[in-house]
Amino acid sequence: MPYDKRLVSLILMTKGIKGILLVQDMAVSLGLDVNMLMMSESQTILLDQAKLNQLRNWQGRLNPELFQKVVRLYIEQMTGLLKQLLQHAGQGNHEMVTGIAHTLKSSSGTVGATNLMLLCEKIESYGEQGKIDMDLILSVQDACNAVEVALKKELEMLV
């Protein structure tokens, strides 16, 4: 029985360990191979809290509002880069896709968006080979949406 890998990835990204248990329960109830589902590389952490705390603490010492500004700027740039990524992927422009993925990879690593960073790394690698993987592009879209929600929650906790 087929399953939607993007749905599984999104559950894992947004729910962490609880998501893994939810996916396992879903798999068992649908008669799917749990081990096959759980071997997905998308099990990486949505936001690396250690990295995020490091950024928060380092910038907080310099300027308490700097962390918030950096996160807001990242979200804004991520949204714009995602639109460009989808546009150029749809046009088959692997060179632009590669460059956008590289930029998004670097900035995502800075804020601790580990899964998004790794997905962008794969897109960049495909692009360097002159290829575009639309499933990966759609996974990046899902990851961007999940990262935005998670980072906005981080900002809400600061208020």
Q: Are residues 90 and 13 located together in one domain of the fold?
A: no
d(CA 99, CA 110): 17
The reported pLDDT for the residue numbered 21 is 46
Which domain range does residue 19 map to?
1-43
The reported pLDDT for the residue numbered 54 is 83
Q: Are residues 75 and 11 located together in one domain of the fold?
A: no
Residue pLDDT, tens place only, 77-93:
999 999 999 999 999 99
Q: Are residues 36 and 57 located together in one domain of the fold?
A: no
pTM value is 0.71
Query: Which CATH number fits the domain that encloses residue 132?
Result: 1.20.120.160
The reported pLDDT for the residue numbered 102 is 96
Q: Which residues of the chain have pLDDT under 70?
A: 1-45, 59-62, 64, 159
* Nearest residue to 140 (alpha-carbon basis) of 71, 84, 72, 94: 84
Residue pLDDT, tens place only, 132-154:
999 999 999 999 999 999 999 98
The two tokens of residue 145 are 């949406």
The reported pLDDT for the residue numbered 4 is 52
Q: Are residues 151 and 115 located together in one domain of the fold?
A: yes
